[in-house]
Amino acid sequence: MIDKKTYIQMKKDIKCVCRKDLLDLCDKMELTQLERNMLFRFYDGDMVQSICMDMCISPTTYTKYMKRILSKIYYYKNTH
């Protein structure tokens, strides 16, 4: 799992990537549909509360999932 500083930096980096590149990255990493939905909702700038309400998850669970998704992306980018 990545540390807090890397997590925050990854969130900033994801916001700066174009949508097509992010979609290609998701395809290469074979992310699940849930992971894709969360990542693209974050990318689109949706509020955490809105995402949690739509997906029927708690904010704590959202944070846990986002940490996992961003960790996967971080390790994928650093190994390929």
Name residue 39's amino acid: L
Structural domains of the chain in order of their starting residue, each with its CATH number: 4-75 (1.10.10)
Q: Three-state SS for 56?
A: coil
- The pTM for the full model equals 0.89
pLDDT in tens, the chain (80 residues): 889 999 999 999 999 999 999 999 999 999 999 999 999 999 999 999 999 999 999 999 999 999 999 999 999 999 88
- Whole-angstrom Cα distance, residue 52 to residue 28? 26
